């Protein structure tokens, strides 16, 4: 049985993530990001990182807004975000990948919950006794789709590439990063499913619960940690754009 303290903590964590996402989106409505895809990345990041994403947006994200860009152009200066420390640029690149993972996982989990047959299509009962493993396949497919799309709309305009070239470069830039992110996320969700919820509390947590999404928030932060060194390497090698 899930203890009351964990249930309440889960509600607070999920609500805080939603609130931070709304606050960021409202600020972007008034002063959009210079690169439009970042208007999606920052709120999506807040869904799992909450106050951390809000702080990062206020501290570093605002440096890449339309207003900041216009003021820099007026003073004939480079865009303020370009002066960010390399570690911050790598972090933004990782969250860029993570936002695609977050949206893909969000869609996949609810689709499989609403239509259980979908999990059967991906191997539940035939390949996997656990539904979670089958859903992870759908998770990865949708996360990959969102991640490549996000990367495409970053790399193509920054490098002035053709659509085909932009798509290929997006695949090169995001495949390793996204896979590293999913490994971290899957790792924690397995720990949460088998050890924390089932082992410690003797409970099975469904998608339609605050506890599941609280665990997913932590899992996404684990994904950030496994994806960060990969993004460092990708940016250093010039495979992925510094942001």
Domain boundaries, given as residue ranges, for the chain: 4-236
Neighbours of 93 (CB within 10 A): 26
pTM of the model: 0.91
User: Looking at the DSSP assignment, which residues form a beta bridge with residue 33?
Assistant: 65
DSSP 103-172: HHHHHHHHHHHH-THHHHHTTBTTTBSSHHHHHHHHHHHHHHHHHHHHHHHHHHHHHT--HHHHHHHHHH
Element at 218 (helix H, strand E): helix 210-236
Query: Which pLDDT score, from 0 to 100, does residue 48 have?
Result: 96
Query: Which pLDDT score, from 0 to 100, does residue 171 have?
Result: 83
- The residue length of the chain stands at 243
Q: In the structure encoding, which two tokens stand for residue 71, read together? A: 């003021």
pLDDT in tens, the chain (243 residues): 899 999 999 999 999 999 999 999 999 999 999 888 889 999 999 999 999 999 999 999 998 888 888 887 788 777 777 778 899 889 988 998 888 889 999 999 999 999 999 999 999 999 999 999 999 999 999 999 988 888 887 777 777 777 888 788 878 878 889 999 999 999 999 999 999 999 989 988 999 999 999 999 999 999 999 999 999 998 888 877 777
Query: Which pLDDT score, from 0 to 100, does residue 76 have?
Result: 79
Query: Which pLDDT score, from 0 to 100, does residue 17 have?
Result: 97
Query: Which pLDDT score, from 0 to 100, does residue 22 have?
Result: 97
Query: Which pLDDT score, from 0 to 100, does residue 21 have?
Result: 97
Helices in 31-85 by DSSP H: which ranges?
A: 38-49, 51-59, 66-74
């Amino acid at each position: 049985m899930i203890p009351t303290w964990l249930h309440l903590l889960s509600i607070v964590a999920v609500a805080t993530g939603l609130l931070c996402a709304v606050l960021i989106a409202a600020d972007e409505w008034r002063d959009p990001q210079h690169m439009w895809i970042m208007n999606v990345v920052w709120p999506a990041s807040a869904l799992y990182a909450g106050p951390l994403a809000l702080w990062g947006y206020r501290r570093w994200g605002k440096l890449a807004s339309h207003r900041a860009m216009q003021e820099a152009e007026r003073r004939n200066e480079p865009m303020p975000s370009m002066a960010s420390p390399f570690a911050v640029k790598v972090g933004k690149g990782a969250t860029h990948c993570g936002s695609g993972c977050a949206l893909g996982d969000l869609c996949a989990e609810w689709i499989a919950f609403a239509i259980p047959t979908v999990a059967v299509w991906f191997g539940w009962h035939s390949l996997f006794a656990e539904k979670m493993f089958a859903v992870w396949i759908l998770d990865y497919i949708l996360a990959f789709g969102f991640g490549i799309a996000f990367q495409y709309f970053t790399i193509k305009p920054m490098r002035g590439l053709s659509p085909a070239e932009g798509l290929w470069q997006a695949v090169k830039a995001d495949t390793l990063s996204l896979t590293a992110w999913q490994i971290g996320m899957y790792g924690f969700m397995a720990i949460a499913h088998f050890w924390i919820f089932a082992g410690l509390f003797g409970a099975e947590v469904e998608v339609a619960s605050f506890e599941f999404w609280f665990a997913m928030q932590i899992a996404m932060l684990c994904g950030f940690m496994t994806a960060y060194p990969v993004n460092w390497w990708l940016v250093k090698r010039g495979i992925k754009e510094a942001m």
